[in-house]
């Protein structure tokens, strides 16, 4: 305890840190020095959790594409588009537990399914994708159809087809093949059916009641495999995982660990982590992002895509390749740039390639003290959360609170007029800070803007397109900012504050678990989430270790026993809002 | 053990006719043919009514759009001048409001189209009406957005948004692509492949009871919606197997040129123009009877070319011109939207059907969200209807109903189209008072 107090008194930045956090930091330090992170003394038992509802989740467009690619190969083109996902509690992943399929949506699935089935059964692909040949191509062949449908159906449904399901589709292939006098046409129709089946389009989780704990259930082995696979690889379970589910390999800790380690040690983990952060960072909003092309001619669609890729590459490098500390995403000096991004950020990117070749990514490490450090300075954040023609401290502050702190910032009232303070040509208010401060003189506005703008003002070195600048309208930009009482200067200061924020790591734990389960944070999960936060800290905030914690936890596979309609609705009402849960958890660990 | 016993019904019926040239087994044929003047089928039944919603965000500016006189013979206000050629086919409603919470960004359109401003918008009027009048056409409804997004205000229920089609080319392919059957074609021969596919799909739909059995209420409702949607595709396939009734006014529009969709106002208007043509032709060809158009979204992102600010930002930030007394750029955007609406009405009115037009048997319901875009108020929100719904309502009337809920228009429209509803709306917007001036 004495050592902790000395630490606190000698480092200004830690003076405001809670005792809880000091203990955690000290524990991490101790873990690192003594390499005893897994020591039983520090590894408290997972608290009892009542789980949550077993839900059906609609595949995201990415998961649909990944599944088809894994099962049939890269050469099968999808075309078309799917219904947009819905963001709930900060995640599209949670939205997948709320949405259904509209008439137009089904039409799109059907069109895509036909296109996939056409390709799989065409002459160019059938030899490699269909393991058998019919006795006569101009007639039905139950044996070959059964073999193909049994194998493919198992991969698509993420479990073996029931005998009834299989024979139904064999019958469809038989009738269609005979009618059209074409075995492959029959198979095509059956495969289309599998691809539009709710068993494929929705991830259906089946709880198996635990006789020892009435009212509680564990997911069955195939539901476990599905949750695991989509969390780690963002795709359907592969053959090995399905086999483990079939032979009981997921029902023992050792067997489960074997599969979890296999998934974690695969290069395919990158796809899963990319999907997690693409969702969490709200990159779907890039589809409607526009920038004023007169003011920002550099911000093209290509650059928009590169901005997202820069962030994802940075995250993958830091969290997977380097096995770094999650909190360092806010402070890392290393990133990846193309020449176009280099121009945007005013950083020279030298390539040993001739002009007019495709742009190449180069690892860049900013010098100590550079203002471009951390994820918050990337165009994927500062450009995404700006107005088309000018930066916005308000939008940036709001996004930071909602994405990284899991807090909900209220929508502004409709009847506000900013006409006096938002004129970029205003001769008095020549910088954004001056305009915003004038704006804050209105007490009606000030309430909310005080929780957003002081954060966003620290990012004013980045214009609406993410371009780096030090002055606006000839006036040097003041980048001082504040977040929950902590004052700092510039993006680097903000990044360090976020790095040190217990609320930020608490939010990530909550979001990651919601992403994994498809459920909004709920009161029933509070004990587990608090426990998981502790484990995350004890493991040095390393993402692979944290994913393993989730994947090996009981909470991840627990589900409520099947509910009646009435109790099911009551349960749904117990879901907490986006704001409530993290705030509640944070309140237990923060100062 | 096999499940052949559960695999029967429609598939079995169709199996017997595969490869044949007739289409008479098990599926009802449309036995309607147009009468001599092209306004009704040969059996005397009139051409079906069509309905659609058309939404513009941030549309109101007090004093700039309202007619000065009530009743018949009114003249359009300044912002709505583009609609003047159609005044006799349009009703204008002034004074209506969305009752409820303080001014915000979403209450207006929610009350206009759903009668309620709950956070999760319930079933909207286009879907309510489509479920009654749209069941016999190939597409129960068509939803489009003109700003390159998939944003839609059409809801089948909470969390079930009918996403908009952003691409005219994609909409063209969907309606008039390879699966379009020309109702006026001399010969009709059902495609055996379609028969097979229709038959096979029932193997999926027949799983419904088994799949719904063990689900909680929420998930059961979601899967139920899935099966309802599947049924729509089955119905489309069934219609492809039937000889459609000839429709004299049906012509196939030209395939749209390669497109550039987006938020620049010129892009949005060009996109809208193509959508208007496609939807009008789709209705003339019996492909749908219901549509939903989202011109520029609620917090509209539409921009002028080479301008940094969106329409929405202008409403909050543009100074009121002291001489004009309004925000001139905002008014410009509002006029652009009404210009687009005028083009949509023209597209419907431009299709002749006997001695009338497609617009005469249609009913378009326009609404915006704010009576005063600058302050995002929900009082005196502009609403209009266009078209006579096949003689079901009077047109050319300005109705002033100060303080009444916007839901009155929705109730009136539903009753005009034969929806058995006595009252409509929630959250202070309940009303059982239709706009009786339009009846009788």
Domain ranges within chain A, ordered by starting residue:
2-34, 56-204, 215-268, 276-499
Which residues in chain B have Cβ-Cβ distances shorter than 8 Å to A98?
159, 222
Q: In chain A, which among 393-422 make CB contacts under 8 A with chain B? A: 411, 413-420, 422
**Lowest pLDDT segment from A39-53, A396-410, A560-574, B320-334:** A560-574
3-state SS of chain B is: CCCHHHCCCHHHHHHCCCCCCCCCCCCCCCCCCECCCCCEECCCCECCCEEEEEECCCCCCCCCCCCCCCEECCCCCHHHHHHHHHHHHEEEEECCECCCCCCCCCHHHHHHHHCCCCCCCCCCHHHHHHHHHCCCCCECCEEEECCCCCCCCCEEECCEECCCECCHHHHHHHHHCCCCCCCCCCCCCCCHHHHHHHHHHHHHHCCHHHHHCCCCHHHHHHHHHHHHHHHHHHHHHHHHCCCCCCCCCCCCCCCCCCCCCCCEHHHHHHHHHHHHHHHHHHHHCCCECEEEEECCCCCCCCECCCCCCEHHHHHHHCCCCCCCCCCHHHHHHHHHHHHHHHHHHHHHHCCEECCEEHHHHEEEEEECCCCEHHHCECCCCCEEEECCCCCCCCCCEEEECCCCECHHHHHHHHHHCCCCCCCECCCCCCECCCCHHHCC
| pLDDT > 60? residue B37 | no
Of residues A450 and B53, the one with the higher pLDDT is B53
Which residues in chain A have Cβ-Cβ distances shorter than 8 Å to B108?
none
User: What's the pLDDT score for residue A218?
Assistant: 86
Q: So what CATH class is B47-184+250-438?
A: alpha beta
Q: In chain A, which among 451-490 make CB contacts under 8 A with chain B? A: none
Contact flag B196-A105 (C-beta cutoff 8 Å): no
Contact flag B163-A83 (C-beta cutoff 8 Å): yes
Contact flag A197-B230 (C-beta cutoff 8 Å): no
pLDDT in tens, B88-123: 999 999 999 999 876 677 889 999 999 988 766 689
Min CA distance, B30 vs chain A (Å)? 23
User: What's the pLDDT score for residue A51?
Assistant: 67
Which residues in chain A have Cβ-Cβ distances shorter than 8 Å to B326?
none
The mean of the pLDDT values for chain A is: 83
pLDDT in tens, A339-395: 889 988 888 887 766 666 667 899 999 998 888 899 999 999 999 998 877 788 889
Contact flag B159-A100 (C-beta cutoff 8 Å): yes
**Structure ipTM:** 0.83
pLDDT in tens, A283-309: 988 877 766 666 666 777 788 899 999
Contact flag B307-A295 (C-beta cutoff 8 Å): no
Looking at the whole model, is its pTM more than 0.80?
yes
Nearest chain A alpha carbon to B229: A103
Q: Which of B3, B197, B310 has the CB atom closest to A168's CB atom?
A: B3
Task: Tell whether A105 lies on the interface with B, counting CB pairs under 8 A.
Answer: yes
| pLDDT > 70? residue A8 | no
pLDDT above 70 covers a percentage of chain A that reads: 79
Q: Which of B4, B105, B222 has the CB atom closest to A56's CB atom?
A: B222
User: What's the pLDDT score for residue A292?
Assistant: 64
pLDDT in tens, B116-165: 887 666 899 999 999 999 888 999 999 999 999 889 989 988 768 889 99
Query: What six digits make up the tokens of B214?
Result: 């063990």
Q: In chain A, which among 138-177 make CB contacts under 8 A with chain B? A: 163-165, 167-169, 171-172, 175-176
Of residues B375 and A229, the one with the higher pLDDT is A229
Domain ranges of chain B: 1-17+32-45+189-242, 47-184+250-438
Cα A323 from Cα A548, distance rounded (Å): 13
Contact flag B162-A387 (C-beta cutoff 8 Å): no
Contact flag B207-A198 (C-beta cutoff 8 Å): yes
User: What's the pLDDT score for residue A426?
Assistant: 62
pLDDT above 90 covers a percentage of chain B that reads: 64
User: What's the pLDDT score for residue A55?
Assistant: 85
The mean of the pLDDT values for chain B is: 87
Q: Which of A102, A198, A415 has the CB atom closest to B223's CB atom?
A: A198
- Residue A83 pLDDT grade (very low, low, confident, very high; cuts 50, 70, 90): confident
Query: What six digits make up the tokens of A50?
Result: 């009542």
- Residue A569 pLDDT grade (very low, low, confident, very high; cuts 50, 70, 90): very low
User: What's the pLDDT score for residue A151?
Assistant: 97
pLDDT in tens, B8-30: 334 443 444 444 333 333 333 33
User: What's the pLDDT score for residue B38?
Assistant: 57
User: What's the pLDDT score for residue A353?
Assistant: 63
Nearest chain A alpha carbon to B223: A100
The helix/strand/coil state of A57 is strand
Interface test with B, best of A103, A114, A175, A290 (most B CBs within 10 A): A103
Min CA distance, B173 vs chain A (Å)? 11
| pLDDT > 80? residue A195 | yes
| pLDDT > 80? residue A485 | yes
Nearest chain B alpha carbon to A417: B316
- Residue B331 pLDDT grade (very low, low, confident, very high; cuts 50, 70, 90): very high
DSSP secondary structure of A207-254? EEE-TTSTTEEEE-HHHHHHHHHHHHHSS---HHHHHHHHTTTTSSHH
The helix/strand/coil state of A363 is strand
| pLDDT > 90? residue A211 | no
CB pairs under 8 A between A and B: 209
Task: Tell whether A286 lies on the interface with B, counting CB pairs under 8 A.
Answer: no
Cα B155 from Cα B162, distance rounded (Å): 6
């Amino acid at each position: 305890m004495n050592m902790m107090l000395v630490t606190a008194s000698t480092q200004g930045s830690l003076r405001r840190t809670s005792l809880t956090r000091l203990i955690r930091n000290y524990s991490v330090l101790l873990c690192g020095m003594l390499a005893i992170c897994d020591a039983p003394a520090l590894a408290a038992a997972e608290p009892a959790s009542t789980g949550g509802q077993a839900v059906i989740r609609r595949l995201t467009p990415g998961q649909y594409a990944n599944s088809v690619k894994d099962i049939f190969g890269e050469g099968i083109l999808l075309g078309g588009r799917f219904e947009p996902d819905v963001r709930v509690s900060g995640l599209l992943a949670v939205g997948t537990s709320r949405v259904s399929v509209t008439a137009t949506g089904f039409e799109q699935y059907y069109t895509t399914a036909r296109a996939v089935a056409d390709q799989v059964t065409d002459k160019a692909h059938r030899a490699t994708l269909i393991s058998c040949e019919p006795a006569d191509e101009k007639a039905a062949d139950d044996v070959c159809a059964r073999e193909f449908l049994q194998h493919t159906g198992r991969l698509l449904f993420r479990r073996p087809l029931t005998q009834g399901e299989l024979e139904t589709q064999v019958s469809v292939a038989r009738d269609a093949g005979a009618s059209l006098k074409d075995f492959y046409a029959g198979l095509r129709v059956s495969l289309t059916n599998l691809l539009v089946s709710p068993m494929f389009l929705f991830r259906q989780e089946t709880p198996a009641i635990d006789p020892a704990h009435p009212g509680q259930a564990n997911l069955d082995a195939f539901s476990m495999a599905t949750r695991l696979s989509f969390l780690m690889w963002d795709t359907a379970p592969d053959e090995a995982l399905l086999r483990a589910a079939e032979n009981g390999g997921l029902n023992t800790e050792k067997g489960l660990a074997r599969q979890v380690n296999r998934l974690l040690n695969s290069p395919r983990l990158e796809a899963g982590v990319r999907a997690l952060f693409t969702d969490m960072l709200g990159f779907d909003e890039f589809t409607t992002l526009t920038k004023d092309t007169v003011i920002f001619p550099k911000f093209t669609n290509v650059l928009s895509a590169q901005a997202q890729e820069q962030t994802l590459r940075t995250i993958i490098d830091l969290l997977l390749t380097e096995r770094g500390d999650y909190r360092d995403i806010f402070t890392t000096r290393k990133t990846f740039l193309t020449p176009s991004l280099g121009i945007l950020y005013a950083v020279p990117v030298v390539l040993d390639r001739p002009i007019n070749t495709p742009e190449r990514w180069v690892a860049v490490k900013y010098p100590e003290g550079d203002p471009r450090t951390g994820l918050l300075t990337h165009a994927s954040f500062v450009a995404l959360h700006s107005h088309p023609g000018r930066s916005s401290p308000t939008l940036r502050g709001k996004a930071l609170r909602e994405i990284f702190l899991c807090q909900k910032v209220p929508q502004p009232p409709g009847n506000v007029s900013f006409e006096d303070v938002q004129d970029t040509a205003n001769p008095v208010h020549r910088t954004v800070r001056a305009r915003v401060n004038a704006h804050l003189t209105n007490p009606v506005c000030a309430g909310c803007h005080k929780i957003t703008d002081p954060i966003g003002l620290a990012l004013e070195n980045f214009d609406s397109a993410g371009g780096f600048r030090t002055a606006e309208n000839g006036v040097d930009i003041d980048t001082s900012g504040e977040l929950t009482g902590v004052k700092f200067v510039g993006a680097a200061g903000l990044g360090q504050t976020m790095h040190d924020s217990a609320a930020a790591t608490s939010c990530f734990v909550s979001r990651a678990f919601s992403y994994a389960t498809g459920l909004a944070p709920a009161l029933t999960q509070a004990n587990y989430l608090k426990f998981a936060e502790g484990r995350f800290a004890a493991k040095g905030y390393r993402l692979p270790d944290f994913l393993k914690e989730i994947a090996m936890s009981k909470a991840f596979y627990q589900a409520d026993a099947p509910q009646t309609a009435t109790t099911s609705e009551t349960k749904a009402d117990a879901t907490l809002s986006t704001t409530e849960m993290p705030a509640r958890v944070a309140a237990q660990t923060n100062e | 053990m096999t499940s052949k016993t559960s695999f029967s019904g429609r598939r079995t019926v169709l199996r017997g006719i595969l490869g044949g040239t007739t289409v008479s087994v098990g599926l009802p044929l449309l036995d309607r043919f147009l009468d001599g003047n092209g306004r009704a089928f040969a059996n005397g039944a009139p051409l079906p009514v069509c309905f659609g919603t058309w939404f513009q965000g941030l549309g109101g500016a007090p004093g700039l759009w309202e007619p000065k006189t009530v009743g018949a013979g009114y003249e359009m206000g300044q912002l709505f001048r583009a609609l003047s050629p159609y005044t006799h086919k349009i009703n204008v409603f002034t004074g209506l409001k969305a009752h409820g919470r303080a001014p915000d960004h979403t209450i207006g359109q929610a009350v206009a189209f759903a009668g309620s401003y709950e956070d999760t918008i319930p079933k909207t009027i286009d879907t309510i009406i489509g479920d009654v009048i749209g069941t016999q056409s190939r597409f129960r409804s068509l939803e489009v957005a003109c700003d390159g997004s998939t944003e839609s205000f059409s809801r089948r229920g909470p969390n079930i948004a009918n996403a908009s089609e952003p691409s005219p080319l994609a909409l063209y392919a969907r309606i008039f692509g390879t699966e379009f059957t020309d109702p006026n074609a001399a010969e009709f021969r059902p495609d055996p492949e379609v028969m097979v596919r229709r038959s096979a799909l029932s193997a999926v739909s027949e799983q419904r009871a088994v799949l719904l059995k063990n689900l909680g209420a929420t998930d059961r409702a979601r899967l139920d919606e899935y099966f309802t949607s599947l049924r729509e595709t089955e119905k489309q396939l069934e219609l492809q197997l039937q000889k459609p009734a000839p429709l004299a006014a049906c012509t196939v529009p030209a395939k749209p040129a390669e497109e550039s969709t987006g938020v620049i106002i010129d892009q949005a208007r060009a996109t809208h123009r193509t959508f208007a043509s496609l939807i009008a032709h789709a209705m003339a060809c019996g492909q749908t009877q219901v549509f939903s158009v989202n011109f520029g979204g609620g917090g509209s992102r539409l921009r002028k070319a080479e301008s940094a600010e969106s329409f929405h930002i202008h409403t909050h930030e543009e100074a009121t011109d002291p001489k004009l007394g309004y925000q001139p750029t905002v008014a410009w955007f509002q006029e652009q939207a009404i210009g687009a609406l005028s083009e949509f009405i023209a597209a419907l009115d431009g299709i002749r059907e006997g001695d009338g037009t497609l617009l005469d048997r249609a009913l378009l319901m326009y609404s915006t969200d704010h009576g005063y875009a600058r302050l995002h108020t929900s009082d005196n929100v502009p609403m209009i209807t266009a078209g006579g719904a096949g003689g079901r309502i009077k047109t050319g009337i300005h109705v002033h109903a100060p303080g009444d809920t916007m839901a009155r228009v929705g109730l009136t429209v539903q009753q005009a189209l034969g929806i058995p509803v006595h009252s409509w709306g929630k959250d202070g917007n309940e009303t059982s008072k239709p706009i009786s001036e339009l009846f009788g």
